Structure 1
């Protein structure tokens, strides 16, 4: 660990950032601060409820032990299906920090232009759907809450737990903290609830693919006390996740000192058009020859080549011809692979997981620490909405909204979420193969999250017998309906600067 990180403590970091809050259900409560002075006086009463990274670690260990006891039918003193664990974190928008007087209006005290401007100002560059042919004239096709035409979003409370009742009760208790004599210092802008999918679909997003397999490991967190990153897991600098740590210090020397140990949160509401996606796979899949009787469903093959993994989570790079659930369930093998920068026969260049983490593809431009690692993010999202109904399956049309509440943490939005979406997912020329063998060859868009204004997207590599063949992608099956950029402060900052008290000193 670098010298400037010797004072690092998990107890000073909000738990969702480095560890992730344990959850079956999660509520995102977006709020406006109506009485800044009252809010700051009440914030110290919330701080003890915040789940820190060390507490989140302990809770995950307790949940693992509980599952073992449950499997062995030795419940001990704990009964029920889930542990009564509830997590709480809080984050603020630029407008919220200005409202509290923490940041002067019109300034970029955190040296993060995207955060200062807000996500709505970034919607055109992200290629979200909307009306207008320039950033200045653009109005994104977002939910009203995120357009913020009537109520600004100043912050978001993240509350997680094993059931909706647990989470809702905790949210009510938090609201009570900010209420005195029936007067509240905050007002609701929107409340969104997500749930882990049921039964065998647990851990899978709504298209059916196992999610969250490839997360980076963090130096000083995942490689201490005898711990080691899993095979294939990238170990990144602490400063990739936290402000004021590691390489973030040299990359952003002008950031406000109180921001240390905080992280930028990118939130996106991403509805998914599942019946339409499934129909596309059926309509565009390649028939299997008769001499392969045990071959997987053709639609599953096409889906795997678009995602880069089978639905089980097994990586196409290791098992390109058939799904392998045993491999998928083995954390020592399911992420242990590199891409061949000269070929997309086993995994398309445009496949979602290859776009988001082009392992070895960029080595000709420099080491991974310089070309890939700074752009990796910590993903903490959760699905929302009901399972696909029989009616939707029959009509092949979405009737009920469902998708993913995307959450990522990073010390630098421009190098993290924003870079991944704009420079990699939305860039048909990325990644850059060394010898594609075809003049003017382009891998194509990320077929899952890639976006473009006014054009039909396409990808190559869907057909492993003709990898330069282009596949038109008739629509976007994931469409953003809005979001915001937030900052998740350290515990010290919540107790001091955010509460209207003096900035913490290095010894505090």
Structure 2
């Protein structure tokens, strides 16, 4: 175990992509591979162990440029990991994301039958993600990684998604993204909310105690420890539909911006309603030290300022009084924009594919990602709002009105359309660096 203090995070064995926030601005690429030859697949794992940067080197020679590698359950099987070992992984991971479609509300246009090929199929084995501050450094990182797989005909690249920061540094709906991240004990990386106590490392990294005192470690120990589960989802954003909803339901341009803030819980600049309830405050939205340090319970328990059903309050209720323990459902979230922006003011769809590559990292697929997706994004019982859905990510069918708390009367708006559809995704395992070498050294 290389002489580490028991219980201390072994940062030199954890992939940097698990704990480090992406750079701002950024460029990113996702590459998906199928393993057709077991020995070639194992050789890829051996080579990747030398390319992947560890969390112990956040300011190394490559700066804010790094490569991460994740493997699906089908991928582990293709590498020859024994079935007895696969059975010790989370059962959601074993099933795969497509099989979990009903729980995740991937229905209608988001049904796996409509996903972009080959996403959702058993051909998804290895996912390589490269992140850099700009396109030039990203391309250099991809070129450095290219020998890992180009020389091995038994490993085939089958899908690619390029991502980039928009000039506005927002996502396609116009909101500043990537604001809220939890602090992880022992990581050395501060969380974005100074009021939040750091979470136990076992909530995000396998092999360490979590908030309940349990330790989740797939077997054998060398494979499971210092790994994490990662969810990646390609989410198509219907920008014109979103803009038209705001325009049709607002009284004037100022009211349109207020409505956008009430839907998200933040103004487009990133300034939270909790700290700037009446008007946008771009200086606050640009200040990482202030824009995420707030709660709800003391000043706004009823949601008159930040609606209980808005996106950020659903995704992280913070200190609000809700059913259950919020800390058990915290996630590390990352988002990377893909596709061209829809020009400002355009209310008609131009047919371009644009959206967000969403990534979740954690140690508990069920009570973190799947719970939030099913119980918080697509239900409202946890805060006393029956079966209402998240206004941004919810699986709307055009029948449920949007209701915004307001004195003396609630504001009732027209039924919500589905603004975001799933184009594909998968559950993966991010092995530690020793685990990558172990996978490379497997024998039949």
TM above 0.5: yes
1:91 is matched with 70
2:258 is matched with 301
Cα-to-partner distance string for 1:233-279 (whole Å, 9 max, x where unaligned): 45211111101112279545563122111110100001111122111
CA contact (8 A) 1:91 1:157 kept: yes
2:106 is matched with 128
Tell whether 2:147 aligns with 1:147: no
Residues 96-245 of structure 1 mapped to structure 2, 5 A cutoff: 96-104=75-83, 107-110=86-89, 112-130=90-108, 139-148=112-121, 152-180=123-151, 183-198=152-167, 201-202=168-169, 204-222=170-188, 230-245=193-208
Match of 1:297, SS state, is helix
CA contact (8 A) 2:31 2:160 kept: yes
CA contact (8 A) 1:444 1:460 kept: no
Distance 1:21 1:344 in 2: 31
Tell whether 2:404 aligns with 1:461: yes
1:344 is matched with 303
Distance 1:195 1:253 in 2: 34
CA contact (8 A) 1:222 1:229 kept: no
Residues 43-442 of structure 1 mapped to structure 2, 5 A cutoff: 43-55=45-57, 57-58=58-59, 86-104=65-83, 107-110=86-89, 112-130=90-108, 139-148=112-121, 152-180=123-151, 183-198=152-167, 201-202=168-169, 204-222=170-188, 230-247=193-210, 251=214, 255-256=218-219, 257=221, 258-286=223-251, 297-340=254-297, 342-362=301-321, 365=323, 371-389=325-343, 393-432=345-384, 442=386
Distance 1:427 1:192 in 2: 31
Tell whether 2:428 aligns with 1:486: yes
Q: CA deviation at 1:84?
A: 7.5
Cα-to-partner distance string for 1:306-332 (whole Å, 9 max, x where unaligned): 000001111111211101122222333
CA distance 1:462–1:230, change in 2 (3 Å):
closer
CA distance 1:386–1:131, change in 2 (3 Å):
closer
Cα-to-partner distance string for 1:379-426 (whole Å, 9 max, x where unaligned): 122111111136xx4452242111100011000111111111101010
CA contact (8 A) 1:27 1:158 kept: yes
CA contact (8 A) 1:302 1:462 kept: no
Instruction: Report how many aligned residue pairs link the two structures.
Output: 435
Give unmatched runs, 5+ long, in structure 2. Answer: none
Cα-to-partner distance string for 1:195-254 (whole Å, 9 max, x where unaligned): 0111xx12x11111111111111111247xxx6865234521111110111227954556
TM-score (normalised: structure 1): 0.79
1:451 pairs, out of 378, 395, 399, with 395
Distance 1:331 1:25 in 2: 21
**Max Rg structure:** 1
Give unmatched runs, 5+ long, in structure 1. Answer: 63-82, 133-137, 288-295, 433-440, 503-508
Q: CA deviation at 1:429?
A: 2.6
2:415 is matched with 473
CA contact (8 A) 1:238 1:245 kept: yes
TM-score (normalised: structure 2): 0.89
Q: CA deviation at 1:85?
A: 5.4
Match of 1:482, SS state, is strand
Match of 2:365, SS state, is coil
CA contact (8 A) 2:115 2:422 kept: yes
